[in-house]
Structure 1
Amino acid sequence: MTSNSNTEQKFKSGFISIIGRPNVGKSTFLNRVIGQKIAIMSDKPQTTRNKVQGVLTGNDSQMIFIDTPGIHKPKHKLGDFMVKSAINALREVDVILFMVNAVEGFGRGDEFIIEKLQDVKTPVFLVVNKIDEVHPDELLPLIDKYKEKLNFQAIVPISALEGNNVDTLLTTIKKQLPEGPQYYPADQVTDHPERFIISELIREKVLHLTREEVPHSIAVVIDSIKKKEGKEIVEVMATIIVERSSQKGIVIGKQGSMMKEIGQRARKDIELLLGSKVYLELWVKVQKDWRNKMSVLKDYGFNDDY
């Protein structure tokens, strides 16, 4: 009698950290892979503040992706937290995806990240994103420039937005993963509680709609989430925190028009997330210089215990 144990496919699992300069498309990639929005997207740098974990479960594997804040030179305590959070995500993972922007090319920020990667024992993949925006002839010289700096385990050009080559990247990652357990239930796509994702969806709308007028000096705190008695509707109360009174005026808008638009757009995304009708009520509060106050940062969920 022959054993077929050799042909039996073993389950593989592992943690994959996505690292790179701000605005290279890390969150777009994560949302593409997971198939729904769990990380907020904005063309403003440093949009991602906390590490967001996305879980992709297949028949024979589970990949847990960690989307980190873009590595940049910090200007305040929140910036310190973000950079520390990103660098700490290099520890105890199975694969590191170093994502770069094909359009912007090699930059000083990349030098800084490569310096951090020199001592890392984990396999590092170079992921060249936004290939849909450059001519193919420009790719090889760019890849060569990165190859001179670090010995990469694999190099995969992709377009996170269009989905080009993303499956190839996933296959390459899977080959690298060890045999392991299924850490999360098959239907779970993130380890973040719904409160966190809801606050991020609201913050995304503020960033999109206020553009340059309100920079990254905003936070969103969820005051309560509860189901209305006897109704299939979820009631969400949230406060948008800004640093200056002038920003409060911008967020509210003329006769409350901006606030209304933020609320309408956020509500649509929250309804998709919860699979339920949502009643969303927003307030705006001024908290001067909150990004430099450790006690306030902790209150807003930026815990420095990684």
Structure 2
Amino acid sequence: MNDEIDLGTPAELPHDDFRCGTVALAGRPNVGKSTLLNALIGFRLSIVSPRPQTTRHRILGIATSEAGQIMYVDTPGLHRGAKRAMNRSLNRAARSAISEVDLVVQVIEAGRWTDEDEALYDALVEQKVPRLLVINKVDLAKEKATMLPFVAELMTRHSFDDVYYVSALKEKGLKDLEAGILKRLPVQPPVFGEDEITDRSERFLAAEMVREQLMLRLDQELPYATTVEIEQFKDREDGVAEIHAVIWVERDGQKAIVIGNGGAQLKAIGTAARRHMERAFERKVFLRLWVKVREGWVDDETMLKKFGYTD
């Protein structure tokens, strides 16, 4: 049996039982929500890194099939101890997203249920919508024999409509999950066209692709002191997308690290980001990067709004 998702070819006119709705993918940081979103829509939309709190924005990913249209919302990981304005903004965005959906999918890591998972569950039960539990990373679980007792004990204390076991990275178990989601969505026409995969612009995605490289290439806490702003995005007459981006940091020392010896680090970040852009945008990209300092931007509500961090 092939567990890989098959979105099929959507009908030109939806049939009478065509379903359409919005689904929040919720979970504590680093449980694999973004990887799951990308696997479900068949496109690398949400950026991924091994670091927690990689996702900072609400990302909408759209999967359309003959059976229906699922609008997945990848939310920032809800986390405790939010001391900085940035973290409080991410928590507000996550809570706002789960309050406006038809169904919530709580994603956890196989064999683990933490205090953060519990706090998120408490927030989810306030929403009067169906709740599904997704056990992710089952391929990495060392003691698979303990998985069923773990879930059984979990379900005695928590109320979910169903449980699904998946490996987002290996794209396993996704067809069953998709079917379980669709049958709980309302019967209604699609909201987006059959070829649309997100409501986000290429400009937004370009900034995220640069930020992804910062998350992957910079050490320790430095990625959390950076953000990316697109100053220019235009299509030239020769068909090339010309993109100018600013990487903002909090201190001069961080700027030097991002640039690297002789500009080597910044060049590597730009080269990798450009390649991802060219694959996603399906055209050549000319990318220019600058690094600028803005002290305390992570705690500045005005700057956070300027950089697109809103509820």
TM-score range (shorter-chain normalised) is over 0.9
Alignment of 1:209-288 (within 5 A): 209-212=217-220, 214-229=222-237, 231-288=238-295
Matched, 1:58 2:58: no
The answer to whether the Cα contact below 8 Å between 1:114 and 1:149 also exists between their aligned partners in 2 is no
Distance in 1 of aligned mates of 2:268 and 2:221? 16
SS in 2 for 1:177: coil
Distance in 2 of aligned mates of 1:227 and 1:95? 38
Matched, 1:40 2:9: no
The answer to whether the Cα contact below 8 Å between 2:214 and 2:223 also exists between their aligned partners in 1 is no
The answer to whether the Cα contact below 8 Å between 1:106 and 1:145 also exists between their aligned partners in 2 is no
Match of 2:11 in 1: none
Distance in 2 of aligned mates of 1:149 and 1:115? 12
Alignment of 1:190-209 (within 5 A): 190-209=198-217
Cα drift, residue 55 of structure 1: 0.4
Distance in 2 of aligned mates of 1:101 and 1:221? 32
TM-score where L is the length of structure 2: 0.92
Match of 2:157 in 1: 149
The answer to whether the Cα contact below 8 Å between 2:138 and 2:167 also exists between their aligned partners in 1 is yes
Distance in 2 of aligned mates of 1:261 and 1:222? 18
Identify the match of residue 113 of structure 1 among 117, 120, 127: 120
TM-score where L is the length of structure 1: 0.93
| CA deviation profile, 1:216-238 (whole Å, cap 9, x unmatched) | 11110001011223x12111100
The answer to whether the Cα contact below 8 Å between 2:28 and 2:79 also exists between their aligned partners in 1 is yes
Identical amino acids, percent of aligned pairs: 36
Instruction: Give ranges in structure 1 of 5+ residues lacking alignment.
Output: 1-7
Distance in 1 of aligned mates of 2:221 and 2:20? 43
RMSD (CA atoms): 1.2
Cα drift, residue 75 of structure 1: 2.0
Distance in 2 of aligned mates of 1:34 and 1:89? 19
Identify the match of residue 139 of structure 1 among 130, 137, 147: 147
SS in 1 for 2:247: strand
SS in 1 for 2:47: coil
Shifted more, 142-151 versus 131-140: the winner is 142-151
Structure-2 change in CA distance of 1:213 and 1:155 (3 Å): closer
Match of 1:241, as an amino acid? W
Matched, 1:180 2:179: no
Cα drift, residue 213 of structure 1: 5.3
Match of 2:166, as an amino acid? I
Identify the match of residue 79 of structure 1 among 84, 87, 108: 87
SS in 2 for 1:216: helix
| CA deviation profile, 1:110-166 (whole Å, cap 9, x unmatched) | 111121123221110000000000132121122123213311101001000001101
Match of 2:98 in 1: 90
Match of 1:23 in 2: 30
Cα drift, residue 215 of structure 1: 3.2
Match of 1:4 in 2: none
The answer to whether the Cα contact below 8 Å between 1:118 and 1:150 also exists between their aligned partners in 2 is no
Match of 2:304 in 1: 297
